[in-house]
Amino acid sequence: MIKSVSKILMSAAAAMLIASSAQAASNWVMASGYADGNFMTQNIRQFIEEVKESTGGELDITLHSNGTLIKLDGIRRAVQRNQVQIGEIRLGSYSNEDPMYSLAAVPFLAPDYDSAWKLKDAQAPYFDKLFGETGLKVLAYQPWPGQGFYTKDPVNSTADFEGKKLRIYSKPTQDMGNMLGFNATILPFAEIPQAFATGLIEALFTSPQTGIDIQAWDNTSYFTYAGGLLSKNAIVVNQEAFDALPADVQTALVKAGEAASKRGWEMSKATLEAQMGMLAEKGMTVTDAPEQVTAEMKKIGTKMLADWRANASDEANKVVDVFLASQ
C-alpha cells in the first residue's frame, strides 16, 4: 500500500514537472507588414532565431510577414490587445498622436546613418515612456534607407513636381511634398499599386526598398535619390506578455532587440546601393537629386523643424536639444 501511494505521488510529481516545463516554454506570434525579401523582414527572422537560440527554445516566435495575418496599420492595436505578442510598426504612421513620431521625417535633420543613430538614441527615453503608457515596450528600431522620388518623367528641378499627384506615408512627408509643389496624398503601403492603376497617384516619395517591394518600375521610369531623412520602424512587444516571461528570457529578448537595431542599421546602409542597382536593372533611370531640389528640401526642413518645435512639448523639444548637441 505504501509503495502504491509512493508511486502515485511520484507519478503526480512527474506530471507536475512535465506540465511546468510545458508552461515555461512560450510560443509567440509576430506580425509584420513587409515582404520576406525586405531587409527588415530578414533582420526580424535573424532576431527570432537569436531569441530561440539564446533561450534554449524557451521562447519561440512565429512570424507572419507581408501583412498576411494583420495589415501594417492594424499591428500596433493587435499587440496592445495581445492578439499577437509582438509586431513591427512604422513610427511615422502615428504622427497625428505625438510630434515625436514625425521628428525623423524632418528633411535633413538627420540625413545620414550616423546622425540617424544619434537621433534614435535621443528619442529612445521619450518613446519608452510614450509606448509604456499604452502597454507596449520597444525592443528594436530599424531605419529605412534614404529616400527619393519615383516619377514617370525626369526630375531637373522642383518645377517638374508642380501639380503631380504624389503618394507619401505620413503627415510630415505630405507637408514636404506639398511645399515642393506636389499634390501629396497619404496612402497605406498596400494600396499603392491600385492607386497607380486608378490614377489616384502618379509619383512616390519613398525608399528604394519600398520601390522594390511594390515593383515601382511597373508605373514609373525614374528614381531620383534625395536622401535627407531616414524614417524608422520599431519592433514592439506587449508589456504584459513580456512581464510574464522568466527574467532570463526577458534579458535575452532585450539583448536580441539591441542586436537587431545595430544589425538593422548595417543592413539598411549596406543594401541601399544594391537596391538602387536593382532599380536600374529593372529599367529605371537612377540619378541623384539636382542641387536645386536638395537646397529646397533643406529650406523646407528648416521651416518644418521650427513648426515642429512650436507644436511639441517642452519635453519633446529637449529631445531635439540633446540630439543637436550630439552632432
Q: Using one digit for the tens of pLDDT, what is the confidence trace for 66-97?
A: 999 999 999 999 999 999 999 999 998 898 89
Residue pLDDT, tens place only, 36-48? 989 999 999 999 9
CB hemisphere CA count around 217 (13 angstroms): 16
- What mean pLDDT, rounded, does the chain reach? 92
Name the band, by pLDDT with cuts 50, 70 and 90, for residue 237. very high
Q: Is the pLDDT of residue 122 over 60?
A: yes
Mean pLDDT of 50-56: 98
* pLDDT value, residue 250: 98
Which residue in 104, 172, 112 sits closest to 145, CA to CA? 112
Identify the CATH homologous superfamily for domain 148-229+275-326.
Bacterial extracellular solute-binding protein, family 7 (3.40.190.170)
Split at pLDDT 50, 70, 90, the class of 24 is low
pLDDT score at 16:
42
pLDDT in tens, 143-186: 998 999 999 999 999 999 999 999 998 888 899 999 999 999 99
DSSP string, 75-106: HHHHHHTTSSSEEEEEGGGGTTT-GGGGGGGS
Assigned fold of 25-143+231-273:
D-Maltodextrin-Binding Protein; domain 2 (3.40.190)
For residue 260, which of 88, 7, 74, 79 has the smallest C-alpha distance? 88
pLDDT of amino acid 18 = 35
Q: Where in the chain is the domain with CATH 3.40.190.170?
A: 25-143+231-273, 148-229+275-326
Which residues have C-beta within 8 Å of that of residue 41, sequence separation ≥ 6? 32, 34, 35, 63, 65, 66
Determine how β-strand 232-238 pairs with β-strand 203-206: unpaired
Per-residue pLDDT, 188: 86
